C-alpha cells in the first residue's frame, strides 16, 4: 500500500509523473513512454491542455468522427461526434441518410430559461419573510447590476426572482428561485455570480430587518432546466418508410411504435433506450465543448418528471402518417469556456457554421433522435447485435494485434458470418495456426 503524499499539486509535471511511476509501476520505462507518447508535439497546445485541469500528466484522447447528410429545417449539416463507442457514428449517419429523402428533421426551440437558487434557512414566520422579500427584491436586482449589464445589453439577464417555501420538506428551509436568460453562453459562471450577489445582499438586509435568524446554506445554479427545451421530429407517410431493410413498412411502423410505448412505461427498458439517445447527444455536446455531465443529469431528471422514469422519445401513427419526436432540456453554450479555447471545439463549431446556442440545441436534439431511431429500427428488424458487432469487429482485431492482411481477410470472412468475440478469436487462431 503506497504512502500518502503531501504537496502533490506543487510538484512539477515531471515530478508528478516520476512519483506515479515509482509508486505504482513495475515497468517504469514503458509507462513513462506511454505517458509521453500522448503529449502534443506542439508545446503551446500541450500547455493549453495542461492548464484545463489540475495535476495533468498527459492527454486522454477520444476519436472525433463526423456524421454527414443531416437535413435540419431544410439545411444540410455534417455533425461532429466525440465518442469511443463502436457503431454510434455509423448509426447516426445511417439515420441521417434515411431521413434525407423523407423531409429531414424539423426542430424548434420551445424555451431557453435557466435556473439558479439561493438555499437558506430562516427561524421566523413565513409571513414576515414574505413581506421582507417583497421589500428587498429590487435591491437584489441592483446588487447584480455590474454583473448583468453586458448580458442585458445583448438581450439576456435575470428574468425573475421568487421566494419559495420548502419548510414542509425540510425544517426552516427556503429558496430564492431565480430564472435567467443567458443567450449564447451556457451561463454557469454568470448565474453563480448573480446568486452569490443575491445571497450577500439578502443576508445583510435580513440582519437589519428580520426578527428571526437567516442563514445562507449555498448559492448555485441548477442543471435541471425543464424550461430550456428543444423539440426535434421526423415524419412521413407509412408507405414511404419502405427501404432495403424495411420490406413491410406497415409492420415496421407498428413494431417501432410498440417499442417506444414499452420504453414509455417500463423503466428497465427506458434507461437503456435513453442511453442510446444520449450516445448521440453526449458525442455532440463533448465535441462542441459543452458539459455532458450537466446535460446528462438534467435530461435524466426530465425523464423522471412524472414520478416514473420514462422514454425521452415518442411515436405516433395517425392518418397513415408515421411521426417520431423528442422533447428534451438542453442548456448549451457556443461562447465562453472551452468553446474559445479548445482547437477541436472551435473546429467543430466552425463545421456547424458557428451556430448560436439555440441552433446548437436543435442540432444536438437531432443527433439524439437520429441515434435512437437507428437503435430502435435495428431492434425491431435485424436485432441490435448484427450491426453493432460488425462495427465492433475492428476493436477485437486490434485487441489481438491483427496484421493488415489478417484484418482484410477476417473482415471479408465476417461479411457472411455472425460476429461474436469467441468467433473472432477462433478465426484468428485458425488463421495463425
**Catalytic machinery residues:** 85, 275, 291, 388
Closest to 91 (Cα-Cα) out of 279, 328, 285: 279
With vertex at residue 388, the alpha carbon angle to CA 248 and CA 66, rounded to the nearest 5 degrees, is: 100
Q: Are 249 and 238 in contact (CB under 8 A)?
A: yes
Q: Are 64 and 81 in contact (CB under 8 A)?
A: yes
Q: Which helix (H) or strand (E) holds 108?
A: strand 106-109
Q: Are 359 and 345 in contact (CB under 8 A)?
A: no
Of the chain, the end-to-end C-alpha distance in Å amounts to 43
Closest to 397 (Cα-Cα) out of 415, 416, 411: 411
- Strand duo 106-109 + 114-122: pairing: unpaired
Closest to 101 (Cα-Cα) out of 231, 236, 257: 236
Q: What are 157's three cell numbers?
A: 439577464
Helix boundaries (H) for 126-248: 126-143, 145-153, 188-209
Contacts of 1 (CB under 8 A, 6+ apart): none
Amino acid at each position: 500500500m503506497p504512502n500518502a503524499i503531501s504537496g502533490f499539486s506543487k510538484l512539477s509535471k515531471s515530478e508528478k509523473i516520476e512519483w506515479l511511476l515509482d509508486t505504482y509501476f513495475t515497468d517504469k520505462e514503458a509507462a513513462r513512454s506511454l505517458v509521453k507518447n500522448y503529449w502534443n508535439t506542439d508545446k503551446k497546445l500541450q500547455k493549453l491542455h495542461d492548464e484545463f485541469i489540475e495535476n495533468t500528466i498527459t492527454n486522454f484522447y477520444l476519436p472525433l468522427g463526423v456524421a454527414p447528410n443531416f437535413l435540419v429545417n431544410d439545411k444540410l449539416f455534417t455533425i461532429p461526434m466525440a465518442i469511443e463507442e463502436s457503431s454510434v457514428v455509423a448509426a447516426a449517419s445511417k439515420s441521417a441518410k434515411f431521413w434525407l429523402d423523407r423531409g429531414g428533421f424539423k426542430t424548434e426551440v420551445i424555451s431557453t430559461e435557466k435556473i439558479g437558487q439561493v438555499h437558506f434557512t430562516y427561524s421566523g414566520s413565513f409571513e414576515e419573510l414574505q413581506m421582507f422579500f417583497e421589500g428587498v427584491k429590487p435591491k437584489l436586482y441592483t446588487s447584480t447590476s455590474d454583473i448583468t449589464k453586458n448580458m442585458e445589453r445583448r438581450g439576456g439577464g435575470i428574468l425573475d426572482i421568487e421566494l419559495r417555501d420548502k419548510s414542509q420538506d425540510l425544517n426552516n428551509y427556503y429558496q430564492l428561485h431565480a430564472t435567467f436568460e443567458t443567450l449564447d453562453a451556457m451561463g454557469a459562471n454568470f448565474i453563480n455570480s448573480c446568486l452569490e450577489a443575491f445571497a450577500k445582499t439578502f443576508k445583510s438586509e435580513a440582519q437589519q430587518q428580520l426578527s428571526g435568524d437567516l442563514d445562507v446554506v449555498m448559492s448555485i445554479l441548477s442543471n435541471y432546466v425543464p424550461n430550456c427545451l428543444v423539440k426535434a421530429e421526423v415524419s412521413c407517410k407509412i408507405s414511404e418508410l419502405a427501404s432495403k431493410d424495411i420490406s413491410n413498412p406497415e409492420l415496421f411502423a407498428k413494431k417501432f411504435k410498440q417499442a417506444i410505448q414499452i420504453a414509455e412505461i417500463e423503466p428497465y427498458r427506458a434507461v437503456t433506450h435513453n442511453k442510446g439517445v444520449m450516445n448521440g447527444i453526449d458525442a455532440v455536446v463533448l465535441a462542441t465543448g459543452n458539459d455532458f455531465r450537466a446535460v446528462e443529469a438534467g435530461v435524466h431528471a426530465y425523464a423522471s418528471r412524472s414520478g416514473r422514469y420514462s422514454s425521452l422519445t415518442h411515436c405516433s401513427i395517425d392518418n397513415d402518417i408515421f411521426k417520431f419526436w423528442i422533447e428534451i432540456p438542453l442548456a448549451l453554450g457556443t461562447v465562453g469556456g472551452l468553446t474559445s479555447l479548445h482547437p477541436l471545439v472551435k473546429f467543430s463549431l466552425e463545421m456547424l457554421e458557428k451556430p448560436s446556442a439555440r441552433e446548437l440545441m436543435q442540432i444536438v436534439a437531432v443527433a439524439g433522435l437520429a441515434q435512437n431511431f437507428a437503435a430502435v429500427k435495428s431492434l425491431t428488424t435485424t436485432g441490435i447485435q448484427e450491426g453493432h458487432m460488425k462495427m465492433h469487429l475492428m476493436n477485437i482485431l486490434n485487441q489481438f494485434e491483427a496484421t493488415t492482411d489478417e484484418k482484410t481477410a477476417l473482415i471479408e470472412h465476417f461479411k457472411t458470418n455472425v460476429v461474436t468475440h469467441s468467433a473472432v478469436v477462433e478465426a484468428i487462431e485458425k488463421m495463425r495456426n
